[in-house]
């Protein structure tokens, strides 16, 4: 009796199995790589040419983030501090400290300090710092509790899924604009009566929030979202231009 199927079909099940295994392994490897800290750079903590303990300068000395990162609320891109910014203090403070020799050398030669960039947005992503900072997104939301870091490291994943979590539910992250650089701020710090007097409350609120003992993060965020008419883009064009 003649064979009904051609001879090459004898290898078809094996070929299909190899293809399926290859595809599954490829998808597993891709997923494993793209969701791990190695890809998102979480934990990246490079050695800087000058040790700058943020916990000392921010938490103990009370320096505002914008003293060094002065463009963060007025430009799309933030900036690193210039030597002039450092020397405004260190011409008088710790002026003989050997750890600050690169700063003094930069001051004398005019050559900028070669800081190692930690947070890097891919070229295919558009991110406007000022748009976020001026509408209730704190430095801590994207960079973590920098005020508690002796050495700054990459604390948040900055992945697309991570960004969309905020864009879909901004009320979970918004805070009053005068608390953006207060990295220790908590919703419990808000006085409901003063907050409602300044920002109002959502139109669909069923009670007078000014009479509450405290406001939740979601209540604060809902109020600010409505007050500032915040509608984060969810389409691709919002960030990929």
- For the chain, what percent of residues have pLDDT higher than 70? 93
Residue 33 located in a structural domain: no
Range 89-111 average pLDDT: 96
Distance CA 148, CA 162 (A): 22
Residue 160 located in a structural domain: yes
Domain region containing 138: 54-80+115-238
The residue with greater pLDDT, 189 or 30, is 189
CB 68 within 8 A of CB 81: yes
Residue 194 located in a structural domain: yes
Residue 152 located in a structural domain: yes
- Position 15 scores a pLDDT of 80
Q: Which tokens in the block code for residue 137?
A: 């997104």
The total number of structural domains in the chain stands at 1
pTM above 0.85, yes or no: no
- At 3, the pLDDT band (50, 70, 90 cuts) reads low
Range 81-86 average pLDDT: 96
Residue 206 located in a structural domain: yes
CB 101 within 8 A of CB 137: no
Residue 76 located in a structural domain: yes
Residue 211 located in a structural domain: yes
- For the chain, what percent of residues have pLDDT higher than 90? 79
Distance CA 180, CA 119 (A): 19
Average pLDDT along the chain: 92
Three-class HEC string of the chain: CCCCCCHHHHHHHHHHHHHHHHHHHHHHHHHHHHCCHHHHCCCCCCCCCCCCCHHHHHHHCCCCHHHHCCCCCCCCCCCCCCHHHHHHHHCCCCCCCHHHHHHHHHHHHCCCCCCCCCCCCCCCCCCCHHHHHCCCCCHHHHHCCHHHCCCCCCCCCCCHHHHHHHHHCHHHCCCCHHHCCCCCCCHHHCCHHHHHHHHCCCCCCCCCHHHCCCCCHHHHHHHHHHHCCCCCCCCHHHCCC
- At 16, the pLDDT band (50, 70, 90 cuts) reads confident
- Position 192 scores a pLDDT of 98
Q: What is the pLDDT of residues 139-175, one digit of tens each?
A: 999 999 999 999 999 999 999 999 999 999 999 999 9
- Position 10 scores a pLDDT of 72
Range 18-31 average pLDDT: 82
The residue with greater pLDDT, 25 or 200, is 200
- At 125, the pLDDT band (50, 70, 90 cuts) reads very high
Residue 11 located in a structural domain: no
Of 32-36, 86-90, 104-108, 202-206, which range is least confident?
32-36
């Amino acid at each position: 009796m003649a064979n009904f199927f051609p001879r090459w079909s004898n290898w078809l099940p094996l070929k299909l199995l190899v293809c399926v295994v290859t595809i599954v392994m490829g998808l597993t490897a891709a997923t494993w790589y793209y969701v791990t800290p190695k890809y998102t750079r979480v934990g990246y903590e490079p050695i800087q040419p000058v040790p700058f303990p943020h916990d000392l300068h921010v938490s103990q000395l009370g320096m505002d983030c914008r003293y060094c990162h002065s463009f963060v609320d007025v430009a799309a891109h933030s900036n690193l501090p210039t030597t002039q910014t450092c020397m405004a203090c260190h011409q008088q403070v710790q002026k003989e400290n050997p750890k600050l020799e690169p700063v003094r050398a930069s001051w004398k030669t005019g050559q900028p300090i070669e800081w190692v960039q930690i947070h890097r947005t891919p070229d295919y992503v558009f991110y406007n710092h000022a748009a976020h900072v001026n509408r209730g997104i704190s430095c801590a939301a994207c960079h973590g509790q920098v005020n508690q870091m002796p050495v700054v490291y990459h604390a948040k994943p900055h992945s697309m899924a991570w960004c969309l979590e905020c864009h879909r539910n901004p009320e979970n992250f918004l805070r009053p604009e005068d608390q953006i650089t207060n990295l220790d701020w908590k919703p419990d710090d808000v006085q409901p009566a003063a907050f409602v007097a300044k920002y109002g409350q959502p139109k669909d609120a069923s009670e007078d929030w000014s009479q509450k003992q405290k406001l939740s993060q979601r209540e604060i965020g809902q109020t600010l979202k409505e007050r500032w008419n915040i509608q984060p883009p969810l389409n691709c064009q919002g960030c990929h231009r």
